[in-house]
Structure 1
Amino acid sequence: MNLAKHYHKLYTDAVAKISAGRYETDHLIDSDTDQRFGITLVIRPDAATKDKIQQFLAEAKAIEPDQYYYQNADIHITLMSIISCYEGFDLKDIHVEDYIQLIQQVLARHKCFKIQFKGLTASPSCILIQGFLTDTLNEIRDDLRAGFKNSDLQQSIDKRYTIQTAHATVIRFRSELKHKDTLLNLIEKYRDFDFGTFEVKQVELVYNDWYQRERFVKKLQVFKLES
C-alpha cells in the first residue's frame, strides 16, 4: 500500500464531507452504559511526539472546545486488534496467558523499529495523525495473523478491516461543529507538519474500551523488543 496516497484520499474525501456538513458525530463517547470491550496490541508514541500533538490539539480546542480530544495517556497506534471491541466481552471469557505466550513467540523474532508521525488526515468522524512505518511493522502483523490463525484462541483479526496503516486518532466529533471552516483551515496548516519520529521499543497488550480511555484500559502485558 502507498500510505501517502491512501492518507491523501482519506483526507480529500473527509474534508469534502466535513465542509458540506456531512460529518458524523459519536453519541456513545460520553455514555456510561457503553459496554464495548476487547483486547488490542498497541504502540505508544514517545513524550516528545505527544507534546507536539498536544500543541496542535490545543489550537483545535480553542476553535472547537466541545469536541473529544485525546489525552497523552490515550494516544496510541493499533498494532493489531486481537479481539475487536464488542458488547459484553469480558476478560473472564478468555485465558489471557495463552495470548501472552503466542504474542511473545511472534515478537521474539522481531527487533525495534521506527515510526514517523507526519501530517494529518481525516475521516468524516475524526482527525488522525498520519503514521509512516517500516516493513517491520507489517511483518509483525503478518506473523501475528499466521500465529492466531493456527491457534484455537478467540480472535477477530481483520474481521472489520485489514490493518495496514500506523495512524493515531486524536480528535473525535461528538457534537455540532460550530466553526468547521476555521477548524479545516487549522488542519490544512498541519497537513504536513512533522510531529516526530520515534523508536518502538515495546508493545502493550491491553484490555480496552472502544476509545482506549485510560480509566478503562487494563494493561495485560508489556513486550520488549530487542535493539
Structure 2
Amino acid sequence: MSLAEHYNQLYKTSSEAILNRNYSLDSKINNRSDSRFGITFLLRPSEKIKTNIQLFLKELKAVEPNQYYYPDSDIHITVMSIISCYESFSLDKINVEDYINIIQNSLADLGEIKIEFRGVTASNSAIMIQGFPSGETLNNLRNKLRENFRNSTLEQSIDSRYSISTAHSTVMRFTEELQNPKELIEVVEQFRDYTFGEFTADKLELVFNDWYQRAENTIHLEDFLIN
C-alpha cells in the first residue's frame, strides 16, 4: 500500500467514525500529573509550513474551539520513537551518549530528507497533516536505526506500538465531546489536498519528551546536522 493510499484509507475510516460520534477523547492531555516520558528522534517543518498549518488550525478552532491544538513549538515529524513514553521514565535510567553515538553511526552516507506536507487526514482522536517524503532517505534511515539499536544492549522500544512508516504531523487532538463534528469534517475536507509546503530538513533532533511533545516538558539532548 502506498503512503497516499494509507492516508486515504485512514481518513475514510476515521471521518466516518467522527461523523457517527464514534471517536475517542484524550483524557490525559490536561493532566499535569501525567508522568509518561520517553526519547524521540524527530525533525521539524519549516517556519513557512508552520504558518500555513496555523491558518488551517484557525479554521478548525472556529468550529471546535475547545479541543487541543499544537503550537508551532510542538509540531514535528517522528523519525523514530526510540523509547516510547511510559510512566516514570527518566533520563537517569540511561546513558544519553550511548544513544547519540548509535544515531550518529546511523546517519553515515545519509542523503537529503525532503518532505512535502500535502493534505490532511485523521484518526478517531486527532487531525494530522500528511507528509510525503521524497525518495527513500527517511525509510533507509529508519531501517538503519532499527538495525543498530536492536544490535545494541540499550533500552529501546522501537516499533513496539506500531512500525512507523509515515511522515505525518499531529496538529489537533480531541479532548472533549465534539460540538460540531459535521462542520469539523467540512473544514478538513477543504484542506484534504491543500499544499502546506515542501522543506528539506537541515537537522534532526534527539529529545526527552512527554506524550504530546510539549515544549515546556521537552529536554533537548542533541542536534544532528544533515546538510
- Does TM-score exceed 0.5, indicating one fold? yes
CA distance in 1, matches of 2:108, 2:65: 44
Q: Please report how far the alpha carbon of residue 78 of structure 1 lies from its aligned counterpart in structure 2 after TM superposition.
A: 0.3
Q: CA RMSD in A?
A: 0.7
> Residue 108 of structure 1 contacts residue 225 of structure 1 at CA under 8 Å; is this kept in 2?
no
Consecutive unaligned residues in structure 2, runs of 5 or more: none
* Structure-1 residue corresponding to 2:75: 75
CA distance in 2, matches of 1:102, 1:124: 35
> Residue 44 of structure 1 contacts residue 77 of structure 1 at CA under 8 Å; is this kept in 2?
yes
Equivalent residue letter for 1:69: Y
Show the 5 A alignment for 1:16-165.
16-133=16-133, 134-165=135-166
* Structure-2 residue corresponding to 1:191: 192
Q: Please report how far the alpha carbon of residue 51 of structure 1 lies from its aligned counterpart in structure 2 after TM superposition.
A: 0.3
So what's the TM-score if we normalise by structure 1? 0.98
Residue 174 (str. 1) matches residue 199 (str. 2): no
CA distance in 2, matches of 1:61, 1:81: 29
CA distance in 2, matches of 1:113, 1:178: 39
Aligned residues: 226
Q: Percent identity?
A: 51
> Residue 69 of structure 1 contacts residue 170 of structure 1 at CA under 8 Å; is this kept in 2?
yes
CA distance in 2, matches of 1:65, 1:137: 35
CA distance in 1, matches of 2:162, 2:140: 17
Secondary structure of 2:216's counterpart equals: coil
Equivalent residue letter for 1:3: L
> Residue 75 of structure 1 contacts residue 168 of structure 1 at CA under 8 Å; is this kept in 2?
yes
Q: Please report how far the alpha carbon of residue 113 of structure 1 lies from its aligned counterpart in structure 2 after TM superposition.
A: 1.8
Equivalent residue letter for 2:11: Y
Secondary structure of 1:121's counterpart equals: strand
Q: Please report how far the alpha carbon of residue 208 of structure 1 lies from its aligned counterpart in structure 2 after TM superposition.
A: 0.2
CA distance in 1, matches of 2:59, 2:14: 20
- What do residues 79-131 of structure 1 show as CA deviations (whole Å, max 9, x unaligned)? 00000000010000000000001101111320322000000000000000000
* Structure-2 residue corresponding to 1:217: 218
CA distance in 2, matches of 1:88, 1:53: 33
> Residue 131 of structure 1 contacts residue 165 of structure 1 at CA under 8 Å; is this kept in 2?
yes
CA distance in 2, matches of 1:82, 1:113: 19
Q: Please report how far the alpha carbon of residue 206 of structure 1 lies from its aligned counterpart in structure 2 after TM superposition.
A: 0.2
So what's the TM-score if we normalise by structure 2? 0.98
Equivalent residue letter for 2:176: S
CA distance in 2, matches of 1:141, 1:151: 16
Secondary structure of 1:215's counterpart equals: helix
* Structure-2 residue corresponding to 1:204: 205
CA distance in 2, matches of 1:107, 1:222: 12
CA distance in 2, matches of 1:54, 1:166: 18
CA distance in 2, matches of 1:92, 1:188: 45
